[in-house]
Amino acid sequence: MNPVTRILTISERNPDPSIIAVASQAILEGKLVAFPTETVYGLGANALNPEAVARIFSAKGRPAEDPLIIHLASPSDLPRVTLEVPPMALLLAQEFWPGPLTLVLRRHPAVPPSVSAGLDTVAVRVPAHPVALALIQTSGVPIAAPSANLFGHSSPTTARHVWEDLSGRIDLILDGGPTPVGVESTVLDLTSSIPTILRPGGVTLEALQEIIGDVHTLKNSPLDRGKPQASPGLLGKHYAPHARLILLKMVNPTSLHQTLRRLVSDETSKGNRVGLLIASEDLPFVQDLPAKLAVIGSLDDLATVARNLYGGIRQLDQENVDLILARDFGNFGLGMAIRDRLSRASSQQITDDEQP
């Protein structure tokens, strides 16, 4: 445990070089630094230092089978961490980097096996956030950085979220304000015969298909604890609030609102406090209910929904609800990533055919 975690406020657009220098020196000394990326806050350490990497797992309480993503300053740094750079990787880098796309490639021997759960692959990306890029460039080393939260908890999109989870466990937090994307990067495996999305995220399936054509999605994620994973975020229970969460994966709006009302009535009659994670379109149908509300955006603006997703979940946790009822946002575009996070955070899912 680190008895003191420092927080340094830094401009998102024009990072102060003196603050970056302090954080970079901490990275080079093997310490842990939380910093904003465009997706969520990352918990960074020198990816080539096995002892520093081990501290990430310890601070988060993260199992060894869940790999880390290495963050680079530029695609030109790929040879430092990968054995080969296939033409498709260069094509995708040109189109999506810096940005929320992670590529799974063959791991370079210089990368400690612990970064990749002992596998011969490695997950890499170039983040699109000035603070993250400045930190990587100034430190001069690849930075391994999972989300800066306790393992399994909802990911952090503000420095306050990081502090709530990791204060006293890490050395430094760079507070660069809220993260603009709000869900983690898409992880695309390029070591398989057909590029395969292992984790949906900030780059959509449709955007990838426009550039490289055929893309598969991982239908059945491996769930076994103890089995090395090819990507972070594949374990069955992940991104979860402290409260129990039920995902209402319902297409019919009338059924959705009737089910929300019924469940709120049932749960409050038992003395449970209920929170609703909903779209703005749902508000007129549920605003009279005795429930805490987190309205995270419109069905027509999934970028805003994604940006507010984890903040809404954490808000309801702060309001000490016992149960969160979350609506689904579809499976197109960013809806795929939002559904993935809510599905893994949930303890139960209800569809139109499975109403209580």
In this structure, what token pair is assigned to residue 49? 């230092």
* 216: pLDDT strictly greater than 60: yes
pLDDT score for 114 = 97
**Mean of pLDDT values over 272-280:** 98
Q: What is the pTM of this model?
A: 0.95
Residues 263, 183 share a domain: no
Question: pLDDT per residue over 35-55, tens digit each?
Answer: 999 999 999 999 999 999 999
Residue 179 belongs to a domain: yes
Question: pLDDT per residue over 282-317, tens digit each?
Answer: 999 999 999 999 999 999 999 999 999 999 999 999
**Mean of pLDDT values over 178-207:** 97
Residue 225 belongs to a domain: no
Residues 13, 147 share a domain: yes
In this structure, what token pair is assigned to residue 115? 């970064």
Residues 277, 334 share a domain: yes
Enclosing domain of residue 284: 244-354
Residues 198, 305 share a domain: no
pLDDT score for 222 = 47
Instruction: Give the CATH number of the domain where residue 123 resides.
Output: 3.90.870.10
Residue 1 belongs to a domain: no
CB 286 within 8 A of CB 235: no
Which ranges in 45-154 belong to alpha helices (H)? 50-60, 78-81, 87-96, 130-139
Residue 279 belongs to a domain: yes
With cut-offs at 50, 70 and 90, classify the pLDDT of residue 219.
confident
Residues 26, 120 share a domain: yes
Question: Residue 9 and residue 5: Cα distance in Å, rounded?
Answer: 13
Residues 153, 14 share a domain: yes
Residue 68 belongs to a domain: yes
**Mean of pLDDT values over 236-243:** 88
Residues 305, 172 share a domain: no
Residue 237 belongs to a domain: no
Residues 213, 336 share a domain: no
Residues 209, 249 share a domain: no
**Mean of pLDDT values over 60-82:** 97
Count structural domains, the chain: 2
Cis? peptide before 146, omega within 30° of 0: no
> What is the maximum alpha-carbon separation in the chain?
60
What is the amino acid identity at position 15? P
Residues 188, 117 share a domain: yes
CB 173 within 8 A of CB 296: no
